[in-house]
Chain A
Amino acid sequence: MAYPTDRKYTKEHEWIKVVGLEAVIGITDHAQESLGDIVFVELPKVGADLTAGSTFGTVESVKAVSDLYAPASGTVTETNGDLATAPEKVNKDPHGSWMLKMKLKNPGELADLLSSTAYEQFVAEEGSH
């Protein structure tokens, strides 16, 4: 699987696409595949402040509950209302189904994140354990 090069990735299997100080966040194809059918997504309220590495919500499959971790710090500007009624969109199109948008507080944090190639490698190595 070739992961889109227009964004960065975390070891918790989130992606973050940045234009200026505006970031869009979602979860990767590997994440949705591991989770199975997604039935519930819980997101923070608009205006919430997120800290890089802290949990900001949860994504639930039939069987399991998984935390969502903020790839970077910032303030939530918009959440994807579609996911309240059609959470399966994340399975169908994980890289197109965004979860939230935020205004970045500290763009320097992005330097620590993985490129698409580094993420692919990380997933491959994780799988071989």
Chain B
Amino acid sequence: MVDFNGWDMPVEYPASIGCGIINEHMAVRTGVGIFDVSHMGDIRLAGPQALAAVQHISMNDAAKLAIGQAQYSALLYPQGTFVDDVIVHRLGEDEYLLVINAGTREKDFNWVHDNTRQFDCAVENLSDDFTQIAIQGPKAVNTLQKLTDADLSAVKFYWVTHGTVCGLKDILIARTGYTAEDGFEIYVPADEATSARIWHEILSAGKEVGIVPCGLGSRNTLRLEGKLPLYGHEISDTINVWEAGLDRFCKMEKPGFIGRTVLEKAKNEGLKRTLVGLEMVERGIARDGHKVLDNSGREIGYVTSGSPAPFLKKNIALAYVPPQFAAIGTPIKIEIRGQGVGAQVVPTPFYKRPKKAA
């Protein structure tokens, strides 16, 4: 167990029950795994100008969302750098739910609250009201379907529904996740008795397909293989949208969102650094914070996230380097314990889940 931003969470579950980072990772890639992600935060915006409020603070275009649809986005500072990344869910005509990172719960709520005062919209912090459980993997849908009357086959990826789950009415079920696999996140009442009951019912429902509980370790290796950013690593308050390569979630044609003006200017000035995917070529594992060197040993950047990739069976990393080193195949070195160890730039995402057969 470790302290993760003030939350007591497991890095991995015991080997004695068939877990451990590698087994948990493989279960999610080939079967189903379950995560307690209640540390994440929840902010609800509701009211006649809820959309306008969301549009002002979020870089993606929430006007494109139908009721029941969700999108990945980010809250930006005026400098075009990240307050946090977020999933915006449209739950009703004028109702939006932002799901945010654990470590930025308070910061995000204050930011949203302070920057939407001018809109006729109520901003509520619901973070402590929900236990959030993620059920992830190709067998997630079959597992969760056993426990709900909602027709999950009708819920497309990045859409939500409400239904009865384990006997609880009107539970939010979102087809979202942080694993680069199919899966769902459910939001149930936060009291311990209910939460424990739901957790165990899901474990029972998935038993026949080898469901395992998954901790922070596999959560990180799964999202890394899928090149999903982690706040404080690939995105932060000193990194901008273009550097992080999140252009496609940033709708510059939408006027008036915080950060837009500086981002426009930055786009014209060109990139000084860019996020690339790396794969180790020589023996060694690149880790967070390791320096990236060019082939003459000169420091050119740093690793934002690095780890063995259990499914790909390679050692991978994400790193910031100057644009001239970003071409696929560019050889670079990682400084590991004082030695330059060979790596190369590779395409990302490192892993993409297989498309279902038609």
Chain A contacts to B: CB under 8 angstroms: 33, 36-37, 39-40, 58, 60-63, 65, 84
Contacts and interface: CB of A to CB of B under 8 A. Distances in A.
Interface residues of B, number: 17
* 10 shortest interchain CB distances as A-B pairs: A62-B21, A37-B22, A39-B308, A63-B217, A62-B308, A37-B20, A40-B285, A36-B20, A60-B285, A63-B11
A33 B15 contact: yes
B291 interface: no
Residue of A37, A40, A60, A63 contacting most chain B CB atoms (<10 Å): A63
A63 B305 CA distance: 11
Nearest to A88: B22
Contacts of A60: 285
Given A58-B337, A62-B310, A37 B21 contact: yes
B12 interface: yes
Given A36-B21, A37-B21, A40-B283, 7 more contacts: A36-B12, A37-B22, A40-B284, A40-B285, A60-B285, A62-B221, A63-B11
A39 B21 CA distance: 11
B307 interface: yes
A120 to B, nearest CB: 19
A40 B309 CA distance: 13
Contacts of B11: 36, 63
Contacts of A84: 283
A33 B14 CA distance: 9
Contacts of A65: 285, 287
Contacts of B12: 36, 63
Contacts of A37: 20-22
Nearest to B217: A63
A40 B22 CA distance: 14
Nearest to A60: B285
Interface string B209-230: 0000000010011000000000
Interface in B165-188: none
Contacts of B22: 37, 62
By CB atoms of chain A within 10 A, which of B283, B285, B287 has the most? B285
A33 B308 CA distance: 18
A36 B307 CA distance: 14
Contacts of A62: 21-22, 217, 221, 307-308, 310
